[in-house]
Amino acid sequence: MIRRNLILMTLGTLLIAPPMLVAHEEFRVVGTVTTRQATQIVVKATDGGTVAIAVNKQTRVTRDKKSVDLAELKPGVTVVVDALGDSEDDLLAVDVQIVPPIQPRK
């Protein structure tokens, strides 16, 4: 039983620890919030794409460099999101700035 626990814990650590220690890339997404849920926001980027970005308690949300509540990320607001992840399909927001609306690209 103990041997089995040891094997399971070793395998578990092997699976979990390396990915946690590997650094992610920094992404910036600029666009408009289309939906907000408890754990993620969806942003329609200025390049036309739509990106779902996870948010958590550590995500900093600011407007004019002052912290505001996550609830301020309402659909329609323009945001600049600095996020970490391996690709645009796997992002966690670190900083979210609420900025004035941007004119769409011509």
Partner 1 sequence: MAQATAFSHEGPPSARRLVSAMLVALVVAALVLVGAVMPAEYGVDPLGTGKAMGLLALSSVPESTETTPEASAGSEGTPVQSGPVALYSVPYRTDSVELIIGPYEFVEYKYRLEKGASMLYAWAATAPLVHDMHGEPDGAAKDYSESFDKQTRGRADGAFVAPFSGIHGWFWENPAGEPVTVTLASSGFYTTAVEIRSDRTRTPHTLRSVSPSTRQGESR
State the virtual CA torsion across 27, 32, 38, 39 in degrees, nearest 10.
-20
Residue 36's H or E segment, with its range, is strand 25-36
Q: Which residue do the tokens 């609306």 mark?
A: 101
For partner 1, the binding residue among 1, 64, 65, 67 (CB under 8 A) is 1
For partner 1, the binding residue among 56, 60, 74, 102 (CB under 8 A) is 102
Which residue lies nearer to partner 1 by CB, 72 or 95? Answer: 95
Residues touching partner 1, count (CB under 8 A)? 31
Residue 94's H or E segment, with its range, is strand 90-99
Residues that bind partner 1 (CB under 8 A): 1-2, 5-6, 9-10, 12-14, 17-18, 21-23, 25-30, 46-47, 80, 88, 97, 99-103, 105
